[in-house]
Amino acid sequence: MNSTRRKLAIATWGPPDEGNILGKLTVDAEAAQRWIEKIRETTGEKVTITHLVGKAIALGLAKAPQINGRITMGSYIPFDTVDVTFLVALEGGADLAKVKIANLDKRPVTDIAAELRGRAEKLRKGEDAEFEKSKGVLRALPTWLLRPVLWLTGWLTSSLGVSLPALGLEAFPFGSCVVTSVGMLGIDEAFAPMTPFARVPILVLVGAVKDVVVARDGQPVVRPQLTLNATIDHRFVDGFQLATVAKTIRGVLENPELLDK
């Protein structure tokens, strides 16, 4: 029997033929790890590297508004807020759900961690009414019918901003970026395929932090390194916008104490 995730994958994806960009950013994670430990000790909130990455991405999107938006009927329309979606594993990894957090660029990392934790708990307990509605529809439809239904609902919600409460779907359900962590699964790095019905400019996978030998002042040293891999819709992005976002992400992750100011 297909899981909901498997049905979505079969119904959605075809052979790759779109203009996507694959990008990779590796940063030194020592300062981020130290800052996260301090935040945990002082606030009691279980902040992780994924929360910090989400914040860094949101700040990057705020500085590159040409990416923070949607394409509707051939025209680019910017969003008023920077909203980022995090993927949540359910049923021991057999299924996936999403948590979209609004105004991520303006919120402290502890806020992000608390909201994501609380909403993930509701999803795992089956207490998220909207997700349960959408899951029921997905399970009821045959796979051959899912493709056109997903295209239509994706166009209505993600391009036009129409809410479909009867199906458990909100307007712009994924925001401008989807973030998922594979580091917790022991995977160093990976790339995510674009999900057509989500219609987001960027998907980011957070890999594992690993000790790696790197050159420092001409000498080999062992440093904790974090790799972020991104799949990017080329219709939104060129090199300048990518550089702006990447520079901001690197700056936040390597100097997270600046967030305290």
- Read off the pLDDT of residues 36-90 as tens digits, 9 standing for 90 and up: 999 999 999 999 999 999 999 999 999 999 899 998 888 899 999 999 999 998 8
pLDDT: is 108 or 187 the higher one? 108
| Run of H or E including 226 | strand 219-233
Confidence of residue 183 (pLDDT cuts 50, 70, 90): confident
pLDDT: is 200 or 260 the higher one? 200
* Unique residue bearing structure tokens 């809410």: 163
Alpha helix segments (H runs only) across the chain: 4-12, 30-43, 49-63, 109-124, 129-140, 143-154, 239-254
Closest CA to 199 of 165, 174, 235: 174
Lowest mean pLDDT among 11-25, 108-122, 195-209, 244-258: 11-25
pLDDT reported for residue 150: 92
Please, what is the average pLDDT of the chain?
A: 90
Residue 210 and residue 222 in contact, taking contact as beta carbons nearer than 8 Å: no
pLDDT reported for residue 253: 97
Residue 5, pLDDT > 80, answer: no
pLDDT reported for residue 4: 75
Residue 16, pLDDT > 70, answer: no
Residue 222, pLDDT > 90, answer: yes
Segments making up each domain of the chain, as ranges: 4-13+31-177+240-256
Confidence of residue 8 (pLDDT cuts 50, 70, 90): confident
Residue 226 and residue 253 in contact, taking contact as beta carbons nearer than 8 Å: yes
pLDDT reported for residue 108: 96
Q: Give counts: helices (H), strands (E), the chain.
A: 7, 8
Percent of the residues in the chain that have a pLDDT greater than 90, as a whole number: 67
The pTM assigned to this predicted structure is 0.91
* Average pLDDT of the residues in 143-163: 93
Topology of domain 4-13+31-177+240-256 in CATH is: Chloramphenicol Acetyltransferase (3.30.559)
pLDDT reported for residue 74: 82
231-257: pLDDT as tens digits: 998 888 878 888 999 999 999 999 999
119-145: pLDDT as tens digits: 999 999 999 999 999 988 888 899 999
